[in-house]
Amino acid sequence: MLRTRIIPTLLLRNESLIKTVRFGKFSYVGDPANTVRIFNELEVDELLFLDVTATVEGRKPNLKVLAEIADECFMPLGYGGGIRSFEDAQIILKLGFEKVVVNTRALEEPSFITRLSEHFGSQAIIVSIDVKRGLFWGDQVRSRAGGKNARRSPVEWAREVERLGAGEILLTSIDREGTWEGFDLDLVRSVSEAVRIPVIANGGAGKVEHIGQAVKEGCASAVALGSMVVFQRKGMGVLVNFPEESELRRILA
């Protein structure tokens, strides 16, 4: 088994899977449960699902879809999107998910992280940090699917969420997300070196070499893959896939 976790990170919109580019334009990918069945066969170690419209639309997580995913999935699962209360997190974990991902609610009420962590354990709490590069003010943390500037620096916020009890950070470069251009290594490195908890690099992977760069140059503990695992290649059609273990071993050696 690989020591570095490589995590397919799938985006939900209503009851469908999509893939976005820079949190904007999106393409339809397929049915969540069917996609989980394929990843079961590919024997991936972990899956993350993020509902990218729940918070913006002011709605709760779609428990029907999440129950279907949990019923089909053989590997550990994480979910984020629309988690606004302790009860939301509790229901999702009871469905069979091992981890919850929080973003907007954590920025609005940082003590929410501590409450979840103290009850469920830090290993069950991922804080998602979405970052957009500003023209004059440098990297800025964003909430509400990238639509609101939280006016926090990624490093400052990462240190705070660690102190509050987060078990992991999902760090996403909005500018790189869905582009296939590679991770923002400066961003990944700055956050990874600022905290002791695992940092999952997300946003930009387009080839296996990018995974190696995120780990070796960015010091990431884990790597999230989106476009790479749902499309044949950039500009081509849907094909759910996962890098060969031999390739991953080669670039992570």
Ramachandran sector of residue 219 (left: φ over 0; alpha: ψ -120 to 50; beta: rest): left
Q: What angle do CA 207, 213, 214 make, to 5 degrees?
A: 95
Q: Kind and range of the H or E element at 16?
A: strand 16-20
Q: What angle do CA 139, 89, 37 make, to 5 degrees?
A: 90
The residues carrying an active-site annotation are 130
Q: List the one residue out of 75, 107, 112 whose CA is nearest residue 90.
A: 112
* DSSP conformation class of 109: -
Coil, strand or helix: which one is 123? helix
